[in-house]
Every structure is written in C-alpha cells, then in structure tokens.
Structure 1
Amino acid sequence: MTSIPIFITGTGTDVGKTLASAIITEALEADYWKPVQAGFDNGTDAFKVKSLISNSKSVIHGEAYELILPASPHIAAREEDTKINLDVITNKFKEFKSDNPFIVIEGAGGIMVPLNEKEFIIDLIQQLHAKVVLVSRNYLGSINHSLLTAALCKQRQLPVVGWLFNDHYMNYEKEIVDWSGYPEIGCIPFMEEITRAFVREEALKLKPRLLELL
C-alpha cells in the first residue's frame, strides 16, 4: 500500500512548517518524512516531530539526503560534492512499506527553494503526486509571499488542500484565503514553548477540518 503524500510547504523559511507537520502528523496519525534535511546542529526536523507527537501509529522515515550546512539544499549538497536527485527521493518514497493511509512530507523553505541547478521544491511535489498544505506565518509581507505562492500553485495546477496559519495577526488569514481561493485549514496560536500537549490539543482541533478537505 502506498500512503497518500501530504506535502507541507510554506511561503518561506521559519514560517512554522515543522510545527505544522507535527500537528498534522498527530491529527491523522500519519507517517512523517523529511526527504531533504539541510543543517542539523539543533537536531533534525524529523527528531523534533518525533519528540512532539503522542500517538503510537506514526512512523518517522529516514531522510533521503542529510546535509550538514544550514543553507539552500542545492548549496548544502554542493558543499558535500553531491547532487540532489529527485528520482532518488521518489524511489525511496515508493520503497516505504506502511499500512498508514497518509504520509506527511515536510519540504525545505518555500516552494521555489532549489534542490539542484534545475529543479525546485515544487518539482518534487509534482513528482511525488502529493497533496499540498500551505503554511503561512503572519508577518509584515506575508500577504505578498502567500499570494505569490498560491499563484504558482495554480499555475502548476497543484492539488492544494488549504492554508495553515501561524501567529494570528490582524485579519491576514481571511484576506489570503479570499484572494487565493484556497480554504483555511486552521490557525496555530503563538506559544512560547511548544509541547506534546500543545501539539495534541491543536491536532484534535484540526482533525475534522483536515479530513473534510482531504
């Protein structure tokens, strides 16, 4: 059985993709995979997700590429005299043995982050035939970044599930939803400390909406 891939991408770096991935993984009791990890001085994103989920069904799969330099993946790969190959990633995904109906796949940075000299995160999404969750953090400029991301998704005809917002600010969410035409999955409130209990609570809130949109 091949799990349905749900690709978590964002409007940029540090918008909360890992937290969103943990919450969605917990909500669906899905498997989790970060195919390309660039930089892990503070631990990998897979390790963070594992530390934040509570259910016993999710399987955390190993990375296809684990790169030392915390930089754009194509640069980090270049520093290690290697090149990220989308076919390697896709073949690894096909080799996963799991009865789980869903696998959450976390991207790196935004949708146009380069993976090599010719291909980007968006190309990987298409190659994996993944559904897409867009993560947007509320900051000055996020409307522009969010709508640019949405426009590219529409141009490539990606199957977007909807928006997951971080850090409520003014009325950005409604405007981004209305202008993009993509629905809102939910909004993750700001917390100084992210705990398993918080992730579990947010997962319970989001689960009905996620299942509705999926």
Structure 2
Amino acid sequence: MSALIVTGTDTGIGKSVFSAGLTRALGASYWKPVQSGLEEETDSEVVARLAPGCAILPEAYRLHLPASPHRAAAAEGITLDPVRLGIPAHDGPLLIEGAGGLMVPLTPDLLTIDQFAAWQAPVILCARTGLGTINHSLLSLEALRARAIAVIGVVFIGPPEPDSEAIITRLGGTRHLGRLPVLPDLGPDALAEAFTAIDLASIRAALA
C-alpha cells in the first residue's frame, strides 16, 4: 500500500505533531526510521500519545545523542546502513517522518533527501509561518524537485501569515494543504479538531 513522507524546513517546527494528526486522520501506520535523542519523549512516543490506536512501527535506529543522525551514530561507534532503512512491510497507508530537514546527513555520504528519493514516495513539507520561512520553504521545494521527488503540498504550522503562505505556494508551484496552529492544550481531541483545516482530500488523492 501507499506511503508518504512528512518532512520539515527545519527541526523543532511541529512536524511530529502534524504527523500524529495525519496518521490518525488517515488511519495510517507511522514510522520514524531514525530517532536521535532518547532522553525526552521520542517522536514515536508523541505520535502514540496523540494518535491513539494507530500502529507505530519500531525505529530502524534509536540513537542517544540529540544530534544529526550521522553524528549521533558516530558517537555510538556505528554507521547507519541504508539497507536497514528500506520501507518496512505495513498494512494500509504508511506515514514516514524524516529526521530534521532535507539536508540532514544520515551518514557521511547520504543526505536525508537522497534517502527520500530512494523510497520514491511523495512528500508533504511542513513549514513554520515565522520570519525566514519563505527562503527555507522555497529552497526545500527546489531541492525536492531537483531530485524528482513528488510534492503533495505544503502545510504551515504557527500563527496565520497569509502573505508568506501565498507566496510560498505560488512561487513553489505547489498546494497549500492548510495551517496547523500551535495548540496550547495539545491532546488527541484538540489535534483532531485542528485537522479540520487540513486538506485531507488532496492528501488522500495523492495516495490513491
């Protein structure tokens, strides 16, 4: 069955929260291939908490240091093996969450974006609405297209910034898939309600 990738223009912008909401909305399975940083709640644990009842597939790698995967792996004396990063067997749709941004190295010779190209799955780009997002978002979209990676659209996270959102989707030649606000009382119900503003029809069509 179909898989899709959720990535971000940067780390810490809320893509794990978005991934949780989308996993639940699609009735999908969730997979975070590489988790760097284990002292705090992991991304898989965030999704399990916010998308109750959804299948969470085990990470291929769990690395203790909260750093780029290539550095976190080196701290443990290992190098990530791309063979272990093959898409696992799953029932129904699968949501894959990338680590950090597109140019984060998984190994000294493999960027996250190049692993995306190997998976041949379409991408949703999460972008914050703050200062600098136009540059970061358009660069990310250009990099994805340079590698012939299909882009479903952009989801914005944060307070509304209509001008920035419009210019990114127009110049980036992609869909505006909606905006997820920062939720002060983040829980499964609040997240599900916020997801009424997300263009799930376009996302489902891309998976069909």
TM-score, normalising length: structure 2: 0.93
**1:120-145: CA deviations, max 9, x gaps?**
11111111111100000011111111
**1:1-30: CA deviations, max 9, x gaps?**
xx3121111111111110111111011010
1:150 paired residue number = 141
Alignment of 1:146-185 (within 5 A): 146-170=137-161, 171-185=163-177
CA positional deviation for 1:167: 0.8
**1:28-63: CA deviations, max 9, x gaps?**
010000000000211211011010014x3x210000
In 1: Cα distance, 2:22 partner to 2:115 partner = 20
Q: 1:213–1:99: structure 2 CA closer, same or farther, 3 Å change rule?
A: closer
Contact 2:160/2:179, CA 8 A, preserved across alignment:
no
CA positional deviation for 1:210: 2.3
Provide structure 1 residue ranges, at least 5 long, that are not aligned to the other structure: none
2:95 aligned partner, one-letter code: V
2:190 paired residue number = 198
Question: Matched residue of 1:51: which SS?
Answer: helix
1:40 paired residue number = 38
Question: Matched residue of 2:110: which SS?
Answer: coil
The answer to whether 1:210 aligns with 2:203 is yes
CA positional deviation for 1:213: 4.4
In 1: Cα distance, 2:63 partner to 2:94 partner = 22
In 1: Cα distance, 2:159 partner to 2:173 partner = 19
Match of 2:83 among 80, 87, 95: 87
In 2: Cα distance, 1:202 partner to 1:31 partner = 20
Q: How many residues align?
A: 205
Which structure's relative contact order is higher, taking Cα pairs within 8 Å and 6+ residues apart? 1
Contact 1:10/1:135, CA 8 A, preserved across alignment:
yes
In 2: Cα distance, 1:141 partner to 1:205 partner = 24
Contact 1:139/1:169, CA 8 A, preserved across alignment:
no
CA positional deviation for 1:211: 2.0
CA positional deviation for 1:204: 4.2
Question: Matched residue of 2:11: which SS?
Answer: coil
In 1: Cα distance, 2:206 partner to 2:28 partner = 16
Q: 1:213–1:184: structure 2 CA closer, same or farther, 3 Å change rule?
A: farther
In 2: Cα distance, 1:140 partner to 1:203 partner = 24
1:87 aligned partner, one-letter code: V
TM-score, normalising length: structure 1: 0.91
Provide structure 2 residue ranges, at least 5 long, that are not aligned to the other structure: none
In 1: Cα distance, 2:14 partner to 2:182 partner = 10
Q: Which runs of 4+ in 1 moved over 4 A?
A: none
Contact 2:35/2:63, CA 8 A, preserved across alignment:
yes
1:201 aligned partner, one-letter code: E
Alignment of 1:104-143 (within 5 A): 104-143=95-134
RMSD across aligned C-alpha pairs, in angstroms?
1.4
Q: Could you tell me the percent identity over the aligned residues?
A: 36
**1:80-107: CA deviations, max 9, x gaps?**
00011212111xx24x2x331x100001
In 2: Cα distance, 1:119 partner to 1:158 partner = 16
In 2: Cα distance, 1:80 partner to 1:193 partner = 37
In 1: Cα distance, 2:185 partner to 2:73 partner = 32
Q: 1:36–1:82: structure 2 CA closer, same or farther, 3 Å change rule?
A: same
